[in-house]
Structure 1
Amino acid sequence: MESVNRPDAYESTKNEGNRFALNQLEINVRALTRAVKASANYVSFAPLIEKFFKFGEDIVTLYQKAEHNKRLCNYLTKRVNSAVAVMRDLEIRKQDNQAFFMESTNLQLIKDFVKCMFDIKKFVADVSQLGSFGTFFNS
């Protein structure tokens, strides 16, 4: 047991000739480079994602204040909560989803998704305050 605790008990590991061995500096540089790339790609998505979350919160608030058509508002709120959860997961794993944030088509999809959330918010705001007679004529 004494020999294990001695500083000279282990030979120093040499990375010479091993092309896969990375020193700590290279590992840190690669990690930082990935983080910077992920952040740069995420910048154009960030305001849209924040709007998306805001619309989701607004829809939940509208549902809680709904006077009419609670079942319809409940149904839409469940779908909105699912969409918000997916978007939250995408945001949390932005470093793992770098390829997603590099695609300009995905930016357009997120814009369309935000517009859809806005339309749902507007619809829930309207339908939650209308009686059944108004819903029949305005839907």
Structure 2
Amino acid sequence: MHFTRPRELVVAGLIGLVLGFALVELFYGELPRFPLLAGLPLLIVAAVEVILGFTLRSRIRAGRVLDPIAVARAVALAKASSLLGSFMTGAWLGVLAYLVPRGGDVAAAADDLPGAGIGAVCAAVLAGAALWLEHCCRAPDSRDSDHPGRPTG
């Protein structure tokens, strides 16, 4: 498994953007109002990942013996969360791209703007927290294994 590459996050974000915009454009009239704190679950997961990142980082730097499976699970969680955060950021931005032009004309669109904005911010925070966790799981002397010419493990 390799560490998350920026292009993976960009692709996930673009897919989310297109799908978010298309689905809202097709079904906006049938959707319920977006809750103001729709992105809160993503923010909670981000907080847990930041705490886990600081915990793992301090243990790795202190030279404590860590269960390799636990670190591998943390890396897998971080990778999945960064992709989810990127995808959901794109999706919320797609929703915002639909709502912003209609916000002045349609009262429901104006009411949904704050919830979509908070959702986009929470999703971006999740992506950032996941990248932080992934960074914290690296061994202190390791270099980026994605460089050409370097052996990969």
Q: Give the TM-score normalised by the residue count of structure 2.
A: 0.34
Q: Which structure's relative contact order is higher, taking Cα pairs within 8 Å and 6+ residues apart? A: 2
Q: Give the TM-score normalised by the residue count of structure 1.
A: 0.37
